[in-house]
Amino acid sequence: MKRSSIMVKALVLTMACSMVFAAGCGKKKKTEESTEIPTEESSETTPIVTTPPTTEETTLQEYGMTIAPNEIEVTWKEEPMEAKVMYVSGIEKYLKVRKGPGTDDSKYPVVSKLPNGTDVIIVAKTDNGWYKTQDGFYVSAEFIKDTKPS
């Protein structure tokens, strides 16, 4: 791995951590609720503790942006493939990462953007020319190459 690539990844990680820390400052998170219900055996009450559900989040490249997992229903055909590192290549600004394999913003909204040269782990190819990333989102195969651009 090139030193500049390591430095960029370290910078992105630092920015992501800073954003997470800043977002949590000054806010108290409600983690437990306690309610009491009477038991049949006596007139005493037994506390019931509940915790809010947690969802696994994904961090994508655009400034360490954290998004919820992709929950869109798959209505297209995908051919699974062995996970492979590929690279964003041949774009002027950013490659849009979408919820599905298409450019219709109302159907497949943009969830992130990747600059030229970004590593992307590909796990499947769709029947209409898109790659599925390991995070469950989609990028146009037209701008994903086997070799890193110079």
Provide the CATH number for the domain around residue 103. 2.30.30
- Mind listing the pLDDT tens digit of every residue in the chain (150 residues)? 444 455 555 555 555 545 444 445 444 444 444 444 455 555 555 454 444 444 455 555 554 556 777 888 888 999 999 999 999 999 989 999 999 999 999 999 999 999 999 999 999 999 999 999 999 999 999 999 999 988
Residue 7 inside a domain? The answer is no
Residue 77 inside a domain? The answer is yes
For residue 16, what pLDDT is reported? 53
Supply the range of the domain harboring residue 86.
Answer: 58-145
For residue 40, what pLDDT is reported? 53
For residue 31, what pLDDT is reported? 44
Residue 128 inside a domain? The answer is yes
Residue 122 inside a domain? The answer is yes
The tally of domains found in the chain comes to: 1
Phi and psi for 7 in degrees, rounded to 5?
Answer: -65, -40
Residue 86 inside a domain? The answer is yes
For residue 57, what pLDDT is reported? 54
Give yes or no for a contact between 79 and 131, defined as CB atoms under 8 angstroms apart. Answer: no
Lateral strand order in the sheet of 94-98: 110-115, 94-98, 138-140, 130-133, 119-126, 78-88, 144-145
User: Is 0.75 surpassed by the pTM of this model?
Assistant: no
Residue 83 inside a domain? The answer is yes
C-alpha closest to that of 66 among 121, 12, 8: 12
In Å, what is the CA distance from 42 to each residue of 26, 37, 66, 135? 43, 11, 48, 51
Residue 36 inside a domain? The answer is no
For residue 54, what pLDDT is reported? 42
Residue 53 inside a domain? The answer is no
